[in-house]
Amino acid sequence: MERFSPAKVNLGLSVLGRRADGYHQLHTLFAALDVGDRITLEPIPQGIELRVLGADLPSGPANLAYQAARDYLEAAGNPGGVRIVLEKHLPIAAGLGGGSGNAATVLLGLRQFYPAPVDLLPLARNLGADVAFFLRGGLAEARGIGELLSPLEPLQVPLVLVNPGLAVSAAEAYQAMKPDDYSPELPVASILAALKRGEEPGWWNSLEAPVFRLRPELAELKATLRAFGLRGVLMSGSGSTFFALASDLAQAQHLAARLRERFPRFWIRPAQTA
């Protein structure tokens, strides 16, 4: 069985403050994309075999895809094993939710192989705050640490994705936050209305300030992308991927081609919210 494992972007991300448990309270819009990784699943008598292609990632318990397989099989009563081939196309530690999407894709695939009365949502939340979103995909408003989801009507938004090849740790980004970096809730209704009109929304990402302090070159890259003429440039998650608006998929492809000429070593893709 081959399955597509989508990426996501945050169409705005507000960090409201720090909770008593040490985590940060978030308000964001998750949007799944039509770009991502590929995962092949094959049932085997027992055990978990994971092979990763296209990236230097662990193939054992340190990998979220492996953890997802382990947790589902245990919850289902160990009905068999699985061989997983993970073909990575997304950059690592890029703010695109690649690992979380991989974990959710494995959970959904194993439920097909080994049907059992297992609630996937608790398993997903235990694996990571973003994993729960990928069980459904589409567009969703998220609160808490990202695990409290309210599905929204799908919205197709053409984008250009730009990643400079610089890995950014989400943990480092949150640790670098200062009280002045906290922001109010996102104006979700106005963001969605602007996107439907093809206009640049008044969105923001509270993690840009701390990440830019850690990696000043990313602040310079955002300014360069704006000067390049891109609209609505915003960092996704804790970075280092930026995305920008396009009027349609043809323009997204055109902009991506121009950006590749300007930044030949960057990972650059046209994309659309799914």
pLDDT of residue 22: 82
pLDDT of residue 13: 98
Asked if 80 and 62 touch (Cβ cutoff 8 Å), the reply is: no
Residues of the chain with pLDDT under 70: none
Asked if 28 and 14 touch (Cβ cutoff 8 Å), the reply is: yes
As annotated, the active-site residues are 8, 130
The overall pTM is greater than 0.85: yes
Q: Comparing C-alpha atoms, which of 151, 228, 158 is closest to residue 195?
A: 158
* Lookup: tokens for 92: 């690592």
- Please state, in angstroms and rounded to a whole number, the distance separating the CA atoms of residues 106 and 84: 8
Compute the residue count for the chain.
Answer: 274
pLDDT of residue 21: 87
Neighbours of 119 (CB within 10 A): 8
pLDDT of residue 85: 98
Q: Comparing C-alpha atoms, which of 12, 108, 8, 24 is closest to residue 65?
A: 108
* Lookup: tokens for 102: 């991989």
Residue 98 φ/ψ, nearest 5 degrees: -60, -50
Asked if 256 and 248 touch (Cβ cutoff 8 Å), the reply is: no
158 half-sphere exposure, CB direction, 13 A CA radius: 15
Q: Comparing C-alpha atoms, which of 92, 98, 95 is closest to residue 37?
A: 98
- pLDDT for 234-254, tens place per residue? 999 999 999 999 999 999 999
pLDDT of residue 136: 95
pLDDT of residue 129: 85
